[in-house]
């Protein structure tokens, strides 16, 4: 079985500069890797940098901000590596999900201390 | 030219946006670009008075701003070392030592400016955010001016801009001209932003607030910039022509008591003939390319009005036909209302009423005052006075503008008393 662990927190809960918290994430990541269960993990940029993409009647609709509708649930995620937001939005619009659901596009952070554990 | 303070001020007006555009593209970060530009202009204010104005002020500013930006990147990375990003930011386009090379004259702006326009108008940003970014960074207005023009607290607007700059940087919006397959969709967004700024200027001039920034002038300036950068794009030319033709009537839209004057009653000798000539010429060149679109059609309608010496001399059949074309490009009930008015003038009230019938039946525009005013005018001219009075009353209830409400009330009173 595979599981996705989705980390939710209220805005402002996490201070990226907090050394204790940073250490806790590094420790946690080491533990997951040492357990041999690690598949992949990313830290998303703030929700206010998100863009939501829908296609309705063939028309591309973009919304500035994260996807908030609570009736729908997060089904999964794709990690892709493309040059810029335009390319990412294009791939989001091509998802089979786009015509009835919503795909939230979020940039992924790099160079965080916990990622050094993974050698990335 | 001799007063350095004056030279700095003029350089700020002429070069600031271009300097920011070039830095933003190189750094991928509008905030960093803005900060570096601010430092460069501060240096200019300090040094030009003492050492004299350099022969190429724009190049001096660009070179200085670029050095400031690199200094800042070095400072940041001395704290949190990320050699890859440093190499990426400083290296690629410039190579070692490039930070010290001078910026030659006439190489600032250009494509960078167009890239900045596309970034500020990216459809992944909310429309009001695109408008604020474009006015701040492309047109170079201050946050205070933009906040005043949109009647917003300055802090709200400043916060909106900070968040937008962060999104552009962190979400990976590029300061670049989009690829050929995407450019039309992205250009639509740019034109929408510019036309929204123009319309905001047009309607806010009807309000009571005293506003020191003329958004119509800013929108026309942006339209000229976009037209200069993309001279072959016919819809961009159409947008510029449309704004110029509308703006030619600006001073005739008000009487001595600052009351709104409708098109039919305007003193046409007060229309700005230079703007009409310029708008018409730009439109003619675009139309000859035979790539029509809604902005060109709307500009053509405005040009038909501008060409009529009196309201009675208006070529209504031609205007009705143009609204027909517009409805095919951009079907909307609002266009149908305008078409009904034109057809009513060209072919008589019953023909106009026939077009209005389905719009009224759909109920979609029930709260749209111009629908009821158009309906009332057609009914009145068709001799159906009782129905006309009721329609004038509906128009009166739907309008939020006190001046217009008074005008509508007097139309209702006139038709009621004539009965």
* pLDDT tens, position by position, B168-193: 999 999 999 998 888 999 999 999 99
Pick from B124, B126, B129: which is nearest to A85 by CB? B124
What pLDDT score was predicted for residue B89?
A: 46
Cα–Cα distance, B222 to B200 (Å, whole number):
14
Q: Do A86 and B129 touch (CB under 8 A)?
A: no
- Please state the rounded mean pLDDT for residues B184-213: 79
Cβ-based contacts of A86 with chain B (< 8 Å): 173-174, 178-179, 182
**Rounded distance, CA B192 to CA B195, Å?**
5
The Cα A11–Cα B117 span in angstroms is 31
What pLDDT sits at residue B1? 52
Name the residue among B239, B344, B225 with its Cα closest to residue B300.
B239
pLDDT digits (tens, 9 = 90+) for B267-291: 999 999 999 999 999 999 999 999 9
Is B85 within 8 Å of A45 when comparing Cβ atoms?
A: no
pLDDT tens per residue across span B300-349: 999 999 999 999 999 999 999 999 999 999 999 999 999 999 999 999 99
Q: Is B174 on the interface with A (CB under 8 A)?
A: yes
Looking at the complex, report in whole angstroms how far the Cα of residue A49 sits from the nearest Cα belonging to chain B: 5
Report the residue from B124, B178, B179 with minimal CB separation from A62: B124
Task: Tell me the nearest-neighbour CA distance from B416 into chain A, angstroms.
Answer: 47
From CA A80, how far away is CA A92, in angstroms rounded? Answer: 10
Task: Show the 3-state SS of chain A.
Answer: CCCCCCCCCCCCCCCCCCHHHHHHHHHHHHHHHHCCCCCCCCCECCHHHCEEEEEECCEEEEEECCCCCCCCCCCCCCCCCCCCHHHHHHHHHHCHHHHCCCEEECCECCCCHHHHCCCC
Nearest CA-CA distance, residue B130 and chain A, Å:
11
Q: How confident is the model at residue B209 (pLDDT cuts 50, 70, 90)?
A: very low
Tell me how far apart the alpha carbons of residues B354 and B344 are, in angstroms, rounded to a whole number.
Answer: 9
Kindly state whether B166 is in contact with chain A, defined as any CB-CB distance less than 8 angstroms.
yes
Distances (CA, A) of B323 to B51, B303, B306: 61, 13, 16
Note whether B163 contacts A45, CB cutoff 8 Å: no
The token pair that represents B158 in the structure block: 């400043």
Joined tokens for residue B261: 């004057």
Beta bridge partners of A51: A64, A105
| Residue among A64, A91, A102, A106 with most chain B CBs within 10 A, to mutate | A64
Q: Enumerate the residues of chain B whose CB falls inside 8 A of the CB of residue A46.
A: 166, 170
Task: Kindly tell me if the per-residue pLDDT of A1 is higher than 70.
Answer: no
Q: pLDDT band for B400, please (50, 70, 90 cuts).
A: confident
> Which of B1-15, B165-179, B204-218, B248-262 shows the lowest per-residue confidence on average (mean pLDDT)?
B204-218
Task: Name the band, by pLDDT with cuts 50, 70 and 90, for residue B85.
Answer: low
- Quote the pLDDT of residue A70: 57
Q: Say yes or no for a CB contact (<8 Å) between B170 and A107.
A: yes
- Give contacts of A115 with chain B, Cβ < 8 Å: none
Residue B28 Ramachandran class (φ > 0 left, ψ -120 to 50 alpha, else beta): left
3-class secondary structure, B154: helix
- pLDDT at residue number A104: 85
Q: Write the ipTM.
A: 0.74
- Per-residue pLDDT averaged across A84-107, rounded? 82
- End-to-end Cα separation, chain A, in angstroms: 25
Of B167, B174, B182, the CB nearest to A49: B167
Contact B21, B34 (CB under 8 A): no
Nearest C-alpha of chain A: how many angstroms from B124?
5
* Chain A hits for B131, Cβ within 8 Å: none
Report strand pairing: A103-105 vs A51-56.
Answer: antiparallel
CA distance B78 to chain A (A): 15
Please name the residue of chain B whose CA is at the shortest distance from the CA of residue A54.
Answer: B124
Place of tokens 């050095």: B67
* Least confident residue range of A70-79, B104-113, B235-244: B104-113
CA distance linking residue B411 with residue B388, whole number of Å: 10
**pLDDT at residue B206, rounded to an integer:** 53
Question: Residue B116: pLDDT above 90?
Answer: yes
d(CA B404, CA B419): 23
Mark yes or no for CB contact A51/B124 under 8 Å.
yes
pLDDT at residue A2 tops 80: no
Is the per-residue pLDDT at B2 higher than 70? no
Of A45, A65, A84, the CB nearest to B170: A45
The terminus-to-terminus CA distance of chain B in angstroms comes to 71
| Other beta carbons less than 10 A from residue B391's beta carbon | 26
The string of pLDDT tens digits covering residues A8-51 is: 777 666 666 788 888 888 888 898 888 888 888 887 887 778 89
Nearest CA in chain A to B85: A111
Going from the C-alpha of A36 to that of each of A30, A32, A39, B181, B325, the distances in angstroms are 10, 7, 9, 45, 66
A59 CB near a chain B CB, below 8 Å?
no
Among the residue ranges A89-98, B9-18, B112-121, the one predicted with the least confidence is A89-98
């Amino acid at each position: 079985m595979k599981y996705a662990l989705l980390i939710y927190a209220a805005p402002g809960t996490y201070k990226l500069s907090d050394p204790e918290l940073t250490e806790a994430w590094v420790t946690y990541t080491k533990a997951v890797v040492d357990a041999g269960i690690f598949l992949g993990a990313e830290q998303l940029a703030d929700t206010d940098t998100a863009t939501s993409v829908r296609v309705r009647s063939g028309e591309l609709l973009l919304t500035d901000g994260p996807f908030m509708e609570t009736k729908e649930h997060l089904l999964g995620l794709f990690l892709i590596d493309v040059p810029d937001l335009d390319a990412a939005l294009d791939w989001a619009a091509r998802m089979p999900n786009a015509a009835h659901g919503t795909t939230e596009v979020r940039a992924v952070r790099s160079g965080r201390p916990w990622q050094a554990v993974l050698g990335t | 030219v001799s007063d350095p303070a004056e030279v700095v001020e003029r350089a700020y007006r002429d070069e600031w946006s271009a300097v920011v555009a070039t830095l933003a593209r190189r750094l991928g970060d509008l905030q960093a670009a803005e900060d570096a530009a601010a430092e460069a202009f501060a240096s200019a204010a300090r040094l030009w008075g003492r050492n004299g104005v350099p022969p190429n002020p724009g190049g001096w500013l660009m070179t200085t701003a670029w050095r400031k930006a690199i200094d800042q990147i070095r400072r940041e990375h001395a704290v949190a070392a990320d050699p890859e990003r440093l190499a990426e930011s400083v290296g690629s386009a410039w190579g070692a030592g490039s930070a010290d090379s001078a910026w030659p004259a006439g190489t600032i702006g250009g494509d960078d400016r167009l890239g900045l326009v596309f970034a500020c108008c990216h459809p992944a940003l909310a429309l009001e955010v695109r408008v604020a970014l474009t006015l701040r960074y492309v047109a170079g207005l201050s946050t205070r001016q933009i906040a005043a023009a949109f009647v917003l607290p300055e802090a709200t607007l400043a916060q909106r801009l900070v968040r937008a700059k962060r999104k552009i940087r962190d979400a990976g919006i590029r300061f670049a001209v989009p690829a050929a397959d995407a450019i039309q969709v992205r250009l639509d967004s740019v034109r929408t932003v510019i036309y929204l700024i123009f319309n905001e200027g047009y309607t806010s001039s009807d309000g009571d607030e005293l506003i020191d920034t003329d958004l119509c002038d800013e929108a026309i300036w942006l339209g000229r910039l976009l037209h200069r950068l993309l001279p072959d794009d016919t819809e961009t030319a159409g947008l510029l022509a449309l704004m110029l033709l509308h703006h030619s009537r600006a001073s005739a839209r008000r009487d001595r008591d600052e009351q709104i004057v409708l098109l039919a009653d305007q003193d046409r000798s007060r229309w700005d003939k230079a703007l009409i000539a310029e708008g018409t010429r730009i439109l003619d060149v675009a139309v000859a390319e035979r790539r029509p679109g809604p902005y060109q059609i709307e500009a053509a309608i405005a040009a038909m009005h501008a060409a009529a010496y009196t309201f009675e001399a208006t070529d209504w059949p031609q205007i009705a036909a143009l609204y027909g074309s517009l409805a095919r490009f951009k079907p909307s009930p609002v266009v149908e209302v305008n078409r009904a008015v034109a057809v009513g003038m060209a072919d008589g009230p019953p023909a106009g009423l026939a077009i209005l019938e389905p719009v009224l039946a759909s109920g979609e525009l029930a709260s749209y005052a111009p629908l009821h005013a158009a309906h009332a005018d057609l009914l009145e001219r068709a001799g159906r006075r009782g129905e006309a009075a009721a329609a004038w009353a509906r128009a009166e209830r739907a309008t939020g503008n006190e001046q217009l409400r008074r005008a509508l009330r007097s139309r209702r009173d006139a038709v009621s008393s004539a009965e």
